């Protein structure tokens, strides 16, 4: 076995526990060198002011601190990746590079080329699954094709699930006794230059420790009622694990193992529903892997002919939470303030954009990509194609959510709307989700002037619904 150093190339796997790439390096007898390479130009676009950059900064900081407790430095280099790894191999004498697989189309192609290059130089290059329960290519229909419907996919995927225990975090690491050059985290300029992230620090704790805390809170307090509570945006009824999963601060295998360790009944409605949500994340990566053009193009080809509108003014109103529909505006304002939006509300605002405003789903996906701390290409693409009707498992594709009824059903006491649309705080529940229909005396008493304190609806629901159905009828023909 080689005693030369091994490079562990961290990407979206910013943890020490259940870290197969790290374990592979530890299984050799040489030093372990943890590396992070900042090369945004090689991947799907990292928007200059994206909320994901905020999370990445703090997650890398957390990883670096955990490594320092083991007496190891996280080496940060700028890309191009090929150059950075080659430099490190030369500087350290490393003869192996290990990393965790990712599934974005551009990253897959880059990784293939990189692996071939390293092997041609007699450098061991191995990648591992550390992000999914089931690899995208491990599940196929009886005809050998990828799934496009979730339910049969998840049934087949569950038969492939491994019962292996997650890998333990290392208690120590052997490293080189030298001072390799490293870019400081601050030099990456990941944090915003203006303080729009104030509320982020109150909402989130990036890093492996934060991920475990979020999981424990969810399993201790929420999971048993998850089936019903997850749809109520005014309550803490979801796991809020999505950014931790995206950045690999926790693995889905760790989550499943933690549920088993608590002896939860995984067939009970709450835990089963949550596992199904993990399955939806697996399905998103399955679809992205097999249909790599879906971040830009609809899976359902007929939607290439859909008559989308071109209306920058309406798009801006939607982005800023100024549509005049309280549940929609509350969601968009929550997103802007916290970098996250409740999943039920994501469906509502997505339906409003693509069906009430008939603006292209790509515009919504792009805005989410910039503003979500959990911006994930697979999940973001599948979610937007699903709600617009053009993607996998999107039937009935012509469904149009009524934002008034959605608000009444899922925010009946107005907790959510009143938090994010405080100008409506004194509007009675009866009129909170449709304030334009309230008597003038009610609005006067609530100190709300529509069109000044809160906007009038930018579209009429019934009219917009009819127009959307007419558009769907055109492509159906």
**Per-residue pLDDT tens for 222-246?**
999 999 999 999 999 999 999 999 9
For 274-317, the pLDDT digits (tens) are 999 999 999 999 999 999 999 999 999 999 999 999 999 999 99
Cα–Cα distance measured from residue 329 to residue 350, given in angstroms and rounded to the nearest whole number: 12
Cα–Cα distance measured from residue 76 to residue 363, given in angstroms and rounded to the nearest whole number: 33
- Whether the per-residue pLDDT at 398 is higher than 80: the answer is no
Check if 386 is active-site: no
For 77-118, the pLDDT digits (tens) are 999 999 999 999 999 999 999 999 999 999 999 999 999 999
Query: Which of 361, 369, 386, 431 is labelled catalytic?
Result: 361
User: Is 62 in contact with 14 (CB distance < 8 Å)?
Assistant: yes
DSSP 421-434: -GGGTTS-HHHHT-
Cα–Cα distance measured from residue 384 to residue 458, given in angstroms and rounded to the nearest whole number: 22
Residue 48: its pLDDT value, please? 57
Residue 193: its pLDDT value, please? 79
Cα–Cα distance measured from residue 350 to residue 370, given in angstroms and rounded to the nearest whole number: 15
Query: Which of 367, 384, 386, 420 is labelled catalytic?
Result: 384
Cα–Cα distance measured from residue 121 to residue 118, given in angstroms and rounded to the nearest whole number: 5
Q: Which residue, among 406, 313, 315, has the nearest Cα to 361 in the 3D structure?
A: 315
Check if 343 is active-site: yes
Phi, psi of 100 (to 5 degrees): -95, 135
- Whether the per-residue pLDDT at 458 is higher than 70: the answer is yes
Query: Which domains, from first to last, does the chain contain?
Result: 6-130 (3.40.50.620), 132-163+206-290 (1.25.40.80), 301-476 (1.10.579.10)
Check if 361 is active-site: yes
pLDDT band at 179 (very low <50, low <70, confident <90, very high): confident
Check if 384 is active-site: yes
Calculate the average pLDDT of the chain: 94
User: Is 393 in contact with 149 (CB distance < 8 Å)?
Assistant: yes
User: Is 299 in contact with 404 (CB distance < 8 Å)?
Assistant: no
Query: Which of 44, 277, 297, 366 is labelled catalytic?
Result: 277
Q: Which residue, among 466, 462, 465, 444, has the nearest Cα to 453 in the 3D structure?
A: 444
Cα–Cα distance measured from residue 116 to residue 119, given in angstroms and rounded to the nearest whole number: 5
Residue 395: its pLDDT value, please? 66
Check if 189 is active-site: no
pLDDT band at 196 (very low <50, low <70, confident <90, very high): confident
For 345-360, the pLDDT digits (tens) are 999 999 999 999 999 9
Q: Which residue, among 434, 433, 387, has the nearest Cα to 414 in the 3D structure?
A: 433
- Whether the per-residue pLDDT at 403 is higher than 90: the answer is yes
Give the pLDDT mean for 380-391.
95
Distances (CA, A) of 222 to 39, 228, 250, 339, 351: 38, 10, 18, 22, 27
Residue 274: its pLDDT value, please? 97
Query: Which of 42, 43, 91, 280 is labelled catalytic?
Result: 280
Structure tokens at 151: 């339910």
Distances (CA, A) of 331 to 156, 234, 292, 298: 35, 11, 29, 25
Query: Which of 196, 308, 336, 436 is labelled catalytic?
Result: 308
Query: Which of 43, 343, 366, 436 is labelled catalytic?
Result: 343
Report helix, strand or coil for 451: coil
Structure tokens at 425: 């705080």
Cα–Cα distance measured from residue 105 to residue 386, given in angstroms and rounded to the nearest whole number: 20
């Amino acid at each position: 076995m080689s005693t030369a150093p091994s490079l562990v190339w961290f990407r979206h796997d910013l943890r020490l526990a259940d870290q197969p790439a790290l374990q592979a390096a530890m299984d050799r007898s040489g030093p372990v060198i943890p590396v992070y390479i900042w090369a945004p130009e090689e991947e799907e676009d990292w928007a200059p002011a994206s909320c994901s950059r905020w999370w990445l900064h703090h997650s890398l900081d957390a990883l670096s601190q955990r490594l320092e407790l083991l007496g190891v430095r996280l080496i940060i280099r700028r890309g191009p990746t090929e150059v950075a790894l080659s430099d490190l191999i030369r500087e350290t004498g490393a003869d192996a590079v290990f990393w965790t697989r990712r599934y974005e189309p551009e990253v897959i192609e880059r990784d293939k080329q990189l692996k071939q290059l390293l092997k041609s130089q007699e450098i061991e290059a191995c990648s591992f699954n550390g992000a999914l329960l089931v690899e995208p290519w491990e599940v196929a229909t009886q005809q050998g094709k990828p799934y496009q419907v979730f339910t049969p996919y998840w049934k087949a995927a569950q038969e492939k699930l491994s019962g292996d225990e997650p890998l333990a975090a290392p208690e120590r690491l052997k490293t080189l006794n030298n001072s390799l050059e490293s870019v400081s985290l601050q030099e990456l300029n990941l944090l915003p230059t203006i303080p729009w992230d104030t509320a982020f620090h109150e909402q989130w704790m990036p890093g492996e420790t934060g991920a475990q805390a979020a999981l424990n809170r969810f399993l201790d307090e929420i999971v048993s009622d998850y089936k019903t509570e997850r749809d109520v945006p005014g309550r803490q009824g979801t796991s809020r694990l999505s950014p931790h999963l995206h950045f690999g601060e926790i693995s889905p295998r760790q989550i499943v193992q933690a549920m088993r360790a608590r002896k939860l009944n995984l067939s009970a409605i709450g835990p089963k529903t949550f596992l199904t949500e993990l399955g939806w994340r697996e399905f998103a990566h399955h679809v992205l892997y097999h249909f790599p053009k879906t971040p830009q193009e609809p899976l359902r080809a007929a939607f290439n002919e859909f008559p989308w509108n071109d209306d920058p003014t309406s798009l801006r109103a939607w982005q800023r939470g100024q549509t005049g529909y309280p549940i929609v505006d509350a969601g968009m304002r929550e997103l802007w303030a916290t970098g996250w939006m409740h999943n039920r509300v994501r469906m509502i605002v997505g339906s409003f954009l693509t069906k009430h405003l008939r603006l292209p789903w790509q515009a919504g996906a792009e805005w989410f990509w910039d503003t979500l701390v959990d911006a994930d290409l697979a999940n973001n693409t599948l979610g937007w194609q699903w709600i617009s009707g053009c993607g996998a498992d999107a039937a009935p594709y012509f469904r149009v959510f009524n934002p008034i009824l959605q608000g009444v059903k899922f925010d009946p006491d107005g907790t959510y709307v009143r938090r994010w649309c405080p100008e409506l705080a004194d509007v009675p529940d009866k009129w909170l989700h449709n304030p334009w229909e309230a008597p003038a005396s009610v609005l006067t008493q609530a100190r709300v002037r529509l069109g000044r304190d809160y906007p009038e609806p930018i579209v009429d629901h019934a009219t917009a619904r009819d127009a959307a159905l007419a558009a769907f009828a055109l492509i159906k023909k």
